[in-house]
Structure 1
Amino acid sequence: MSLSPHRAVRTTVAVLGAAGLIALGSTPTAFADQTAPDLALGDIAPVDGVKPGSTFDRPVVVANNGTASADKVWVQYSVTRGLDYAEVPSNCRTHQVPSYDEMTAKSNVVCAFDQELEPGKAYTPATPLAFKALDNALNDVLRVSVWDIDPPLDDAATPPVAGTAAAVKLVESQAGGKASEEAVDVPVTAVNTADWQVRGADLEGAVGDVVTLKVKFTNAGPAWVLTDEGDPVRKVLITPPAGTSVVKSDGFCDAEDGTYVCGTNQRWVNEGEGGLYTFQLKIDKQVEGAKGSVELGSADRPFDPEKGNDRDDITLDVKSAGSTGGTGDGSTGSGTAGSGTAGSGSDSAGGNQPAARSGELAETGSTPAAAVGTAAAAMVAVGGALLVRRRGTLARG
C-alpha cells in the first residue's frame, strides 16, 4: 500500500530526526522498531440500478493494520453531481468543490471520529452514511478515503458546514476481507436516460460569399453523462454542403475525408447543456439541392433511446450574384433535433468549447464592405452627401 501524503510527511520527519541525532553522535536505540498506526479501507461493493429520488448506503470498514493505536481518524466521502447526502451527522462537515480543469464538481463530507482505533482491529460507523440519487443521476462515483489528519480543503472549496443529524461513532467490525486501500472509488449507476440531440442550420448567400455555420449539440437530459477517465464524452460529425469550402473550422474539430469530427476536452456533459460548433464556409459554386449534415457519432449510447434527433440537415440556398450572404445559427434546422433545448453558445459540458468565433470574417470572399462601397457610389451619383462610418471589427460571437 502506497503512503498517503500525510503519512509520507510523518515518515520523512521521523527519518530526518533520526539523521540529526546520528549526526550528533546519539543514535536512538528504539529507532529500528518504532511503532505507528496504519489505517486502511476494506472493499466497497458497487451500487447498480438505483432509481432517481431513492436513497442507499454502503458499509465502510476502517482497519488499523499498524502496530500502534490511532487516537483519531477522519473518513471523507466524495460524490459526483448526480448524488447527494440524505442527512449528515453532527460530527461531519460538508463542503462543495466546483468543476475546474479536468475535475468534475464534487460534494464532500468529512467525518471526524475522536476515538481510539486499536492495532489489528477493524471498525465501521454504527450507522452508515446515507446517500440519495438525484433526478440527473446516471453514471456517478462515490469515493471514500481514510485519513489520520483532517483532510486539507481544495483551494476552490466552499466553507465547511457541520451536519445536523445525531453524531455517529465507530464500532468494532467483524467483517472479513482485506483492508489495504487508503481510498476506494465506488461506481454508482442509476436507472435513467439522457437525450442527446443535434441541430443543423439553413444557410444562404451568393457565390463568393463567406457565411457562418453554427451547429449545436445538446444533452436534453434528464441525466448528466460522465464517461470513464480518458474516454471522449461525444463525437459530433459535421459535413458541409457540396459547393462550399471551409475557410475556418471550429477548434474542437478535425477534418476526416470531407467530414469534420468534433469533440470536447472534458469527459462529461451536464443535463440541459451542450456545445456550439462554428465554421466559416465559402460558397464556391452553386450545386442544386446541396445539403450537408450534422450527426452524432456511432458510439453506443445505451442511455439515449431517442434516436430521431441524432441527425439534422445543413441546407444551402445560393442566391443570385450581388445578394448578401447570410449565416446559419442552428435556429431553423429541418430535422427533429430542432425541437430540443439549444446550446447557449458555450460548452458547459466541455468547459472550454470555443463557441464565440462566429463573428470573424475570412480574408477571402465577399464581405459587407463591398455593399457599403456600392451604396456610397450610388449616393454620389445622385448628388447626395457621402456618409462615412467607421466600421468596427466584428467581435467574436
Structure 2
Amino acid sequence: MPMPPHNRRVSRAAFAALGAAGLIALAAAPAAFGDETAPGLVIGGIEPIDGVKPGSSFDLPVTVANKGTGAAEKVWVTYAVTRGLDFDEVPSNCLTQHIPPYDEMQERWTAVCAFDQAVEPGVVYTTETPLRVKVLDRALYDEVSLRVGEGDPVADDNGSPPVAGTAPAVKLVEKQPGGEGTAPYVAVPVTSVNTADYQVTGAALKGSVGKTVPMKVEFTNAGPAWVMAKYGERSSVSVVITPPAGTSVVKTASFCRAKGETYHCGMRQPALNEGGRETYTFQLKIDKRVARSKGSVALSTEARPFDPNKDNDKADITLDVTGGGSTGSTGSSTNGSTGSTGGSSSTGDDGTTTNGGTLAETGSSTLPITGAAAAALVTGAGTLLIVRRRRAQSLRGGQSSSVSGI
C-alpha cells in the first residue's frame, strides 16, 4: 500500500473548518454529478468511551457499509487517536504514522489500513479482529476518529515516515446489519480516569522608586495527564495576574490583555501537555513605596474536576522597595489599564509587549500631569505679577486701568 509524501496542511485545515457536515457533502459529491452506480461508503461501530484507566486498553469494532448502488473495489480505513492514546498491535496491511501538532491540529497517531476486496452495496462489514488501542499514563480527554474511502489517503508529510504493522493482516468480513454509520467520517471522545495538577508560581520583586524591574510568573501543568484544547473552543484555564500596588506596567507579557487592574493571560497548547509550562514576563515601574504591597498570580475560576489540588492555584507577587521614596497607602497597582484601551503595541525579544498610545496603557503615574499643572501654575503666577505691576504703573501715570493684550 504505497503512501507517497503529500502535503495535507491545507486540506486538513479545511476539513477541520468544514466539520462533519462538510465531509458528508464532499463524500456525496460523485453521486451529485449523476453517477448512478457510485458507492456510498459510511463508517461506524464506535460510541463515546468513558472511564478507562491508564495502562488499560480497548477495542475499536469498526463497521463499514456501502449505501450506494455500485461496489467499491478497494477501501481504506484510517484510524486516528490523540496523544493520550496509542495503537497496540497493528496488522501488516496497515501503516502507522506519528503526526506532530500543526495548523490547529492536535498531535496524533494514525493507522491507515488497506482492504483489497470489494465492498458490495447494502452489505455491512467489520474487521476480522478489531484494532486495539492502549491508554497511556498521560491520557485524560482524548479522541478517536475513523474515516473510510476508496482512495489511498496518502501520508501526511508533516509526520514521521509511515511504518507497517507487524501483526497478521486482517480482512473485512460480513456482519449482520446494525451499528453502521451515516457518514464517511466519525469521531468520538475517550475519557480516562486521571488528574492534571495545574499550578502557578509567583515572584519576589525588589528595586527602588523610579526603577523598572522584570516580573516573571509561570503556569505549569504538573501532570500526570495532558489536557486537550478542542478545536475552536477556549482553553480550560487562563491566568489572572495582579501587579503589586505602587507599580505601573510598562511592558505586557505575550498572550496577556489588561482588564481593569488585572491581566488575563492565555496559553499555547504545549503548556497544557504534561510537564508543560507558560512563562509571562512583564516590566514594572516602581512608582512609589506602598506599605505591605503585594500582588498575585492565580488560575481562573472555571470548573476543573481533573485538578483536585487547589493549594497551588494562587501565589503571591511581593515587592521590596529599597532606598528612600514616598510611602503611599496600601492599595491596588497604578497601571490604570483597561481591556478596551487603544494605541499600538509591539512585541519585544523578551516575550513582552510594549504598551503605547495612552497614559492608561503605558501605566504612567501622575508625574507628567503634575508637572504640567505645576508649569501652568508658574505661568499663571507670572502673568498675575505682570498685570499687577502694569496696573500700578498706569494708576501712578493717571492712565486707564484697562490693559490691552492680556
When normalised by structure 2's length, the TM-score is 0.73
Paired with 1:364 and 1:46, the residues of 2 have a C-alpha distance of 50
1:1-397 pair list within 5 angstroms: 34-229=36-231, 230-266=233-269, 269-321=272-324, 356-357=350-351
Instruction: Assess, with a 3 A threshold, how the Cα gap between structure 1 residues 117 and 357 changes in structure 2: closer, same or farther.
Output: closer
Contiguous gaps of at least 5 residues in structure 1 = 16-31, 323-352, 366-397
Secondary structure of 2:248 counterpart: strand
Q: What are the superposed Cα offsets for residues 86-126 of structure 1, whole Å, 9 maximum, x if unpaired?
A: 11000100011111231111110001011111111010001
- Amino acid of the structure 1 residue aligned with 2:301: S
Deviates more, 1:74-83 or 1:36-45: 36-45
> What letter corresponds to residue 272 of structure 1 in structure 2?
G
The share of aligned pairs that are identical, in percent, is: 55
Letter in 2 for 1:128: P
Q: 5+ unaligned residues in a row in structure 2: which ranges?
A: 1-20, 326-346, 357-361, 365-406
**RMSD value over aligned CA atoms?**
2.7
Query: What is the alpha-carbon distance in structure 1 between the residues aligned to residue 31 and residue 163 of structure 2?
Result: 32
Cα distance in 2, alignment partners of residues 304 and 283 from structure 1: 36
Structure 1 moving runs of 4+ over 4 Å = 1-12, 265-268, 358-365
Q: How many residues align?
A: 317
Quickly say closer, same or farther: Cα 1:360–1:41, change in 2 above 3 A.
Answer: closer
Aligned to 1:225, what secondary structure does the other structure show? coil
Looking at structure 2, the residues matched to 260 and 33 of structure 1 have their Cα atoms a distance apart, in angstroms, of: 58
Greater helix proportion:
2
Q: Matches of 1:261 and 1:233 in 2, distance apart?
A: 14
Report deviation, 1:318. Answer: 0.2
1:134 and 1:364 mapped to 2: Cα distance?
Answer: 47
Mapped to 1, the partners of 2:196 and 2:242 lie a distance apart of 25
Q: Alpha-carbon deviation of 1:232?
A: 2.1
Structure 1 residues 267 and 48, CA gap change in structure 2 (3 angstroms): farther
Report if aligned partners of 1:6, 1:149 keep a CA contact under 8 Å in 2. no
Q: Do 1:233 and 1:263's aligned partners in 2 also have CA atoms closer than 8 Å?
A: no
Mean Cα displacement is larger for which, 159-168 or 230-239? 230-239
Letter in 1 for 2:296: S
- TM-score (structure 1 length as normaliser): 0.74
* Whole-Å separation in 2 of the counterparts to 1:144 and 1:42: 8
Aligned 8 A contact 1:226 1:267 in 2: no
1:45/1:58 contact within 8 Å kept: no
